[in-house]
Structure 1
Amino acid sequence: MKIWKEYNIMKIWQIAIAIFSIIAIILLSVFSSFSYPYVEKVSADWVVDDNINIRIKAVVENPNFFSIKIATLICKVFLNDIEIAEGLDKNIVLQRGENNLSIDLFLDTNKIQKWWTKHIKNGERSDVIVEYMAMANFFFFNKTSKTRKLYSTITTDFTQKLSFNKTKAINVSLNGIETTLLFVNKFESKWQYVDENITIINSSIQLYNPNGEEIGIENFTYNVFLNGIKLGGGWLADNITLAPYATVNTYCYMRIQNEEIPDWFESHLRSGETTLYEIRSYAKLLYGDSVYFIQPIEISGNFSTNFLEKVL
């Protein structure tokens, strides 16, 4: 009787092992043929309210004949490899075939100063990269996949916007007659230095005195505004004296405080990726015994970007 019981127990164990082996073989066979879902289409848009988010919409294809559970889906957006936005979703079930997903990414404006620095150093060019990392659960198995793709590329020309080469006449009322006392022939700006704290722009200015008497320029200062936000400014280190009919080329440095860049960037997005740029200048012009307050440089205009314009 004891031998018979031992024989039955052994038989049960053999059957159980065989069943588990068959199940394991089936699971391994299915898992080995497992095809990971892939993104077919992706689009991105700004969501602007109290906060600024990036909404990613994707069409994900599940090529398997069974549904898959994505335990965690993490999505990130990079500008020149600097992570500026991140969002996640959990417990997503992908049915067989096409699945439409939407995820909101929080924009971290604290990273914008770093982006600005790299954007300028990269020749005013930024690549927008979208990265997905999905962790899928399939029976007792876990699988992680990461996809990183170029979404778009943007370029800007800030220094070109802050320049002009069209002569500007500075007119004043002299004995009741409008008289030209100074010509500003050109104002050119070039990048000089940039780090995470400051940006320095080297500007050259050409002035011409069309009169038979010398003139003086004192206290020449100018400020730069983007969407009404003062980013910084510059000034001439020395006063200038222009002899009659003389042309003078001089240089000045414009200093931008980078801590203002995130506020400008947010205003840029809230304005539909549009910025009004302005340079406002002030100087004293001395002619004979008279002093005139003038605005030698006046630059204004608009520029737009499209960070989320898809190229791939």
Structure 2
Amino acid sequence: MDRERPGKVAAGVIGALVVVAALLWLSGVVGVPDAGLEHNSWGEVDDERIEILTTVWIDNPNPLGSESDVEYEVELAGVQIAAGSETGVDVPPGRTTRTFSTDVDAQQIQPWWSRHLSNGEVSTLVVNTTVHTSVGPFPVSRSDTYEEEIDTDIEGALDRGFSQFEGSYTVDTDAPDWTGIDPTVEVENVTARWGEVTNETSEMAVTVRIHNPNPYPIPVPGFTGSVEFNDVPLADWTADEVELRNVSEDALIDSGEAEQRTFLIEMDNGNLPEWFGTHVDNGEYTRVVVSGSFALTVDGYEVTLPPGGPGITCEFDLTTSIFVDQESGMSFDRCQ
């Protein structure tokens, strides 16, 4: 019986302390720490990592310090692009802030891009933070969530860029067997829209209405071009790599007829993580460059549209406001 008494005494002491702590908590003598999200920012960016800095505030109303465990995660369009945690964080009395570091998961950039495009180029940014603190024997958790809508208009930029092809083009062949006959092609309407989007590829459908005013049929023009974000190639295609929708490549446009042709261009999403790093490193700014040209062959003579040059190049400025306080959007700069 004597051996059992120390154990009973210890249990009684612990029980008494729990009761005292509970009474102090209920009476307001011992306060419950509060916590929330202070702000987020980009940290170090290099070829290997994109750092996110998450700062939380913790308000400890008690005269003695404590320890907390912190969890945080960042989502774009429902895709978790970063997450981290810290245990045993010292929390002194009063209000303090702590900054925690985590890296963007580069493998999640492509899934985010796919959802972003599929959702009309709109993504919801969600940052969740949770702070776990023990008040005596009682665990307490405080959570905070920050949300913001991120939107872009890359489709609009591509559409405006490729619309610069619209016009009537007549080419002086200077060929003996074409005496008095200069081929003319009228490009009446060009539009660009996103097609099927997966984690691996993004399809871009460029639809062109072509009128043939010549007294002879002409073939469907070949389409060559490229799309670059901050000098990172996202698409680079030649005429033989482009699929025509619902029409054969050797189809002709009869004299006096106007027909619509849709070119299906496949963008490789594999370069998106590299681009995203440059976008963040530039303060969430991207220079978008869209280039392209059409070409067709009539009786062995190649006609380039626009004639006499490498094609048309248009430049746009893309900005976002994920962690940078600025207006997001796409603005046109120039075409040449």
Does the TM-score normalized on the shorter chain lie above 0.5? yes
8 Å contact 1:58–1:100 — kept in the other structure? yes
Separation in structure 1 between the aligned mates of residue 199 and residue 55 of structure 2, nearest angstrom? 32
Q: Is 1:280 paired with 2:295?
A: no
Separation in structure 2 between the aligned mates of residue 188 and residue 13 of structure 1, nearest angstrom? 82
Structure with bigger strand share is: 1
Match of residue 3 from structure 1: none
Q: Is 1:78 paired with 2:75?
A: yes
Q: Is 1:160 paired with 2:163?
A: no
Q: Normalised by the size of structure 1, how large is the TM-score?
A: 0.79
Q: Normalised by the size of structure 2, how large is the TM-score?
A: 0.74
Match of residue 224 from structure 1: 227
8 Å contact 1:276–1:300 — kept in the other structure? no
Given candidates 101, 116, 124, the residue that maps to 1:119 is: 116
Length, aligned pairs only: 299
8 Å contact 1:274–1:305 — kept in the other structure? yes
Separation in structure 2 between the aligned mates of residue 53 and residue 227 of structure 1, nearest angstrom? 19
Match of residue 88 from structure 1: 85
Letter paired with 2:222:
N
Match of residue 185 from structure 2: 182
Deviation track 1:45-77 (CA, whole Å, cap 9, x = no partner) reads 34324521011223332344442211x322211
Letter paired with 2:321:
N
Separation in structure 2 between the aligned mates of residue 63 and residue 18 of structure 1, nearest angstrom? 29
Separation in structure 1 between the aligned mates of residue 222 and residue 7 of structure 2, nearest angstrom? 97
Q: Which piece of structure 1 moves more, 184-193 or 59-68?
A: 59-68
Q: Which piece of structure 1 moves more, 268-277 or 79-88?
A: 268-277
Match of residue 150 from structure 1: 146
Letter paired with 2:78:
D
Match of residue 238 from structure 1: 249
**CA drift at 1:83:** 1.1
Q: Secondary structure at the match of 1:280?
A: strand
Separation in structure 2 between the aligned mates of residue 16 and residue 265 of structure 1, nearest angstrom? 59
Q: Is 1:193 paired with 2:187?
A: no
Letter paired with 2:100:
I
Deviation track 1:114-170 (CA, whole Å, cap 9, x = no partner) reads 11122122221111111123332444x362525251332101122111113453454
8 Å contact 2:202–2:268 — kept in the other structure? yes
Q: Is 1:28 paired with 2:22?
A: yes
Q: Secondary structure at the match of 1:307?
A: coil
The verdict on how the C-alpha distance between 1:267 and 1:14 changes in structure 2, with shifts beyond 3 A counting, is closer
Q: Secondary structure at the match of 1:87?
A: strand
Match of residue 300 from structure 1: 314
Alignment RMSD (CA, Å)? 3.5
**CA drift at 1:109:** 0.7
The verdict on how the C-alpha distance between 1:73 and 1:295 changes in structure 2, with shifts beyond 3 A counting, is farther
The verdict on how the C-alpha distance between 1:91 and 1:183 changes in structure 2, with shifts beyond 3 A counting, is same
Q: Which runs of 5+ in 1 are unaligned?
A: 1-5
**CA drift at 1:264:** 2.4
Q: Which runs of 5+ in 2 are unaligned?
A: 176-181, 327-336
8 Å contact 2:283–2:324 — kept in the other structure? no
Q: Is 1:41 paired with 2:38?
A: yes
Match of residue 302 from structure 2: 291
**CA drift at 1:210:** 5.2
Separation in structure 2 between the aligned mates of residue 223 and residue 130 of structure 1, nearest angstrom? 35
Separation in structure 2 between the aligned mates of residue 284 and residue 191 of structure 1, nearest angstrom? 23
* Structure of higher CA gyration radius: 1
Q: Is 1:260 paired with 2:258?
A: no
Separation in structure 2 between the aligned mates of residue 16 and residue 103 of structure 1, nearest angstrom? 40
